[in-house]
Chains A and B, each alone.
Chain A
């Protein structure tokens, strides 16, 4: 273990407890997988602030805090204010997890075309489903991602979505991870595998945390999510990821993607607050002609911290990738972006672009950007650009000269800045849903458990 990491002793006791507790329900393959993963986690430790990959986010306090798995929710709500988390898409499949456990009463798997497989819980663990989950753990590299290793060590529930060759899933498949108040610090380790076989198409929405079952009162939550995507030849996947867990949550997310020839992976990721949010995309372009587009938006206030971290590996020629990450920072928030593009020696004709733009709404907010281009091929087009700016005063004046009050005018300009990202979601319904989320974040920050000020409207934060 290098000096850049600390030992995560607090997790050892918890892992032993978990292993005993689930000894009866976990088949041999799963027990082995968990133990190997926990060893990998132990070997790596929790990365400290000197760790190259973790410069901006310090999670070492986790090493000292005992974080038991979130308990089974005491009370399951009978229904959720559906419009608040369906992004306006009311129909179609929807999977709800409460405190890390699949909640059948709030979920619906209707609307999936024939042949699409969705397994979770006991079914996922079942020996007979080995073929359906065979890619599980093959995309996220647990030997270099300590938290992915930790996630695998605690793998129990979670699910696999498998779209067979040629099948087009019209309606977005939506998942929602919610927490109920527990009064103590807890951890959840959501795990997802999405396999889109040859020529298939699917839109997959992951949403973490929303305050519709009460605030996350009394205790920190550590959400450690891993989502793996496997795209077969010419598959098309749209992935939407929304982190909205509130200011008492530490969120670490890894989205790991493997792309075969001519496949398209388009992701939109939204970070709407949280004490700490580290959001990583790890993409392997393994097939020629494959294309990957990542669009991210983070809207922060108070002391919130978001660290978007991308690694796109062009392992073959003729690949294409683009990254557009935009931050709106108010209060004393901190937004960081690290974008790494690695173009292998033989990956000629690669086109890779990357941009990170930040809008600072206060003097106390801090933006950091770190492009890392590692290009070993000589016939490629790789670009990157970054800007950090404030609201355009001339545009603000122009809107006011048209009778619009300054608060509304500011919000309109922030939306305008953000729209380039939300529009990447493609379907008008999803775009509208994302814009509504941002609007409520900008206009009613008090909906956050700790939200009290209107820093987004340009008033000075308390």
Chain B
């Protein structure tokens, strides 16, 4: 329960009864969720249940149309902000399917993004040399070759490299609320640990994460405070990390039956 008069207890993100559709089809059907500062929430759920749609709604992708409900982020109406304004306010999405952009260097994207964030915070622009130093250090944390910085954004990257690249962007932009949409899919076991290391390096009291995943395995490395099950456009069950183990053992059917009953 949030207490509006006490900022210490205000959630960072408050999703209230959100309905959203895509391509004319209702996908989110009254979804509510609160994320407090410093918390890690895992969202699991069957294919097509609306997890990525939730991520799109939160980051302002026009393909997801909000039909009702509201979202407060840092106490302000999230839907009143353009995608880039949300990003500058510290919202970040690691895409389930990162977009390939031939012709734009990874480093260019990162530098433009970081400088836009810095400008928003009233900090001076970083020049190419200072920026590169930061980017290389972050790439190093993720055991990425520095040459990945000069390659075109995700262009020709392997599935795992794309996911790692999303995390690199997260480390450079240092978001307040990061949504990781199946960042673990397609990663080998070593890569998974490297990525988890990257995420954990960012974890602190002020920073929150929503981790969307199909695999309990990831949650051994990024230990969540809460686990939610999203089915048929709504959160149908919430619990602690043990819920993930239970889901691994039993699947989703037992929950969905309960939800639709």
Contacts and interface: CB of A to CB of B under 8 A. Distances in A.
Nearest to A415: B103
Contact of B113 (A394, A397, A403): A403
24 contacts: A394-B99, A397-B60, A397-B61, A398-B98, A399-B101, A400-B60, A400-B84, A401-B83, A401-B87, A401-B93, A401-B95, A402-B110, A402-B112, A403-B117, A403-B120, A404-B113, A404-B116, A408-B112, A412-B109, A413-B101, A413-B103, A413-B104, A416-B102, A418-B103
B82 A416 contact: no
A420 B102 CA distance: 9
Nearest to A393: B62
Interface of B: 59-62, 82-84, 86-88, 92-93, 95, 98-99, 101-104, 108-110, 112-114, 116-117, 120, 152, 169, 173
A418 B102 CA distance: 11
Given A400-B83, A416-B103, A405 B62 contact: no
Contacts of A394: 99
A136 to B, nearest CB: 40
A392 B104 CA distance: 13
B101 A416 contact: yes
B104 A402 contact: no
Contact of A412 (B86, B108, B110): B108
Contact of B95 (A398, A400, A406, A412): A398
Contacts of B108: 412
Given A399-B109, A402-B169, A412 B87 contact: no
Given A402-B109, A402-B173, A404-B116, A397 B83 contact: yes
Contacts of A403: 84, 87-88, 113-114, 116-117, 120, 173
Contact of B99 (A395, A406, A418, A419): A395
Closest 4 CB pairs of A and B: A416-B103, A402-B113, A403-B87, A400-B83
Contact of B101 (A395, A401, A406): A395
A279 to B, nearest CB: 23
Contact of A420 (B95, B103, B104): B103
A417 interface: yes
A83 B238 CA distance: 63
B115 to A, nearest CB: 9
A398 B102 contact: no
Contacts of A402: 87, 109-110, 112-113, 169, 173
Contact of B104 (A397, A401, A406, A412): A412
B1 to A, nearest CB: 31
Nearest to B119: A403
A361 B117 CA distance: 27
Tell me which of B61, B88, B169 has the highest count of chain A C-beta atoms within 10 A of its own C-beta.
B61
Given A397-B62, A398-B95, A412-B108, A404 B103 contact: no
Interface string A180-206: 000000000000000000000000000
Tell me which of B86, B98, B116 has the highest count of chain A C-beta atoms within 10 A of its own C-beta.
B116
Contacts of A416: 101-104, 152
Tell me which of A401, A403, A416 has the highest count of chain B C-beta atoms within 10 A of its own C-beta.
A403
A419 B59 contact: no
